[in-house]
Amino acid sequence: MPELPEVITVTADLKKELLNEVLINFKITTSYRKIFLTEQINNKKVKSAFNIGKQIIIEFENQIYLSIHLGMTGQLLLNKTDKYEKAVLCFSNDKTIYFSDIRKFGHLKELTREQLEKQKSNIGINILEQFDKQKLIQRLQKRKTPIKNLLLDQKLISGAGNIYATDALFLSNIHPAKPSNTLTKQEHETLITNLKKLLEEGITHRGSSMNRYLDLYGNKGSHQNHFRVYKKRNQKCPICQTSLQFEKLADRGSYFCPRCQA
């Protein structure tokens, strides 16, 4: 699933290409129950593009917003498509955005200003922006939940996903199954710092191209070449050379070093 760096990359591409362009019309090319668009979005100028957690938001004039979630396998591509195409957005200056998805977990939803604000209220903090670190740590220290699960809780921390959470825990020498309330304040601070560092790395590398992720131009990101332990089951730990292990937590695969993260 595209995580925060991938979403930020695609959002920046959309803002670059679509700012001040006009949505001429849209077309739903495949029956898809998660596309909710009306004619009122047509002939509206793009004012901005930003993200709310893993949602991409295109802001149009008249306080109309388009929420895009890429789900597990969704793609947005400029002037190119594939056999999994679900919808087409035709803009001025011959710019066409194609939305494709294999597993059909993504969505396109037209939102009002009120609906947008409600979406924001349901999303956790973005650690790439200004936030109260001590307040977050206090919340983490009260929870008995495995720390890996909390890092993936979008109502607590928005945008972080399995890739970046896994490697942040490794860099912090914390086992993914360790209950959050057993970590020290310093361990929580280190973990937050490392998660932010890895998300920023991912943005610099234009995302991790696992499965279908591509940027708006159909190019792969390169962060997969910089994974610490993610997807490296049975390979040697880059620190101590112990064989890396794998286990599932809350149905998500976790890779870790049994020695460094004991």
Of 54, 86, 148, 232, which residue is the catalytic one?
A: 54
Cross-strand pairs, 207: none
Smallest CA-to-CA distance from 69 within 38, 105, 112 is with: 105
104 given a catalytic annotation: no
- Active-site residue, 95 included: no
What token pair was written down for 256? Answer: 């870790």
Among residues 196, 212, 220, 252, which one is catalytic?
252
Q: How many residues does the chain have?
A: 262
Beta strands in the chain (DSSP E): 22-28, 35-36, 44-52, 55-60, 64-69, 75-78, 85-91, 95-100, 107-111, 245-249, 252-256
C-beta separation of 108 from 67 below 8 A? yes
Q: In the chain, how long is the greatest CA-to-CA distance?
A: 59
Told to judge if 3 belongs to the known catalytic residues of this protein, a careful annotator would answer: yes
Q: Is 259 a catalytic residue?
A: no
Q: Which residues are catalytic?
A: 2-3, 54, 252
